[in-house]
A = this chain, B = another copy of it.
Amino acid sequence: MVVGVLIFDGLAALDAIGPYEVLSRLPGADMRFLATESGPKRTETGHLSLVADYSLADVQAPEIVVVPGGFGTRRLLDDEELLSWIRSAHETSQWTTSVCTGSLLLGAAGILQGLRATSHWAALERLREFGAEPASERVVEEGKVMTAAGVSSGIDMALRLAARIAGEEVAKAIQLGIEYDPQPPFDSGSPAKAPPHLVELVRSVAEQREAEAAEKPLSP
Tell me the A residues contacting B by CB distance below 8 Å.
Answer: 12-14, 17-18, 20-21, 24-25, 30-33, 40, 45, 47-51, 53, 100, 120-121, 138-139, 149-153, 155-156, 159-160, 163, 168-169, 171-173, 175-186, 188-191, 193-195, 198-199, 201-202, 205-206
Contacting pair A195 B172 (CB below 8 A): yes
- Taking CB as reference atom, which chain B residue is nearest A17? B17
Determine the residue in chain B with the shortest Cβ distance to A152. Answer: B180
**Assembly CA distance A24 to B172 (angstroms):** 30
Q: A31-B47, A51-B48, A149-B179 are in contact. Are A172 and B186 (CB under 8 A)?
A: yes
Minimum CB–CB distance for A28 against chain B, Å: 12
CA distance A133 to B48 in the complex (A): 34
Interchain CB contact under 8 A, A184 and B180: yes
From known contacts A151-B21, A178-B150, infer whether A31 and B45 are also in contact, taking CB-CB under 8 Å: yes
In the complex, the chain B residue whose C-beta lies closest to that of A32 is: B47
Give A12 to B18 CA distance when docked, in angstroms. Answer: 11
Top 3 A-B residue pairs of the complex, sorted by shortest distance between their CB atoms: A150-B179, A181-B189, A182-B182
Contact of A176 among B20, B49, B199 (CB under 8 A): B199
Pick the contact of A182 from B13, B163, B169, B184 — CB < 8 Å? B184
19 more contacts with CB within 8 A, not counting A21-B152, A173-B201, are A33-B47, A40-B40, A50-B50, A50-B51, A100-B179, A138-B183, A149-B181, A150-B178, A150-B179, A151-B178, A156-B183, A171-B186, A172-B186, A173-B194, A175-B184, A176-B191, A177-B202, A182-B182, A182-B189
Closest residue on chain B to residue A181 by CB atoms: B189
A177 contact set on B, CB distance < 8 A: 150-151, 202, 205-206
Is there an interface contact between A181 and B47, defined as CB atoms closer than 8 Å? no
> Looking at the complex, which one of B25, B168, B179 makes contact with A186 (CB distance below 8 Å)?
B168
Are A163 and B181 also in contact (CB < 8 A) when A21-B12, A152-B155, A201-B173 are? Answer: no
Q: In the complex, which of the residues B48, B156, B159, B193 contacts A50, with contact meaning CB atoms closer than 8 Å?
A: B48
Contact B194–A182 (Cβ < 8 Å): no
The answer to whether A152 and B182 have CB atoms under 8 Å apart is yes
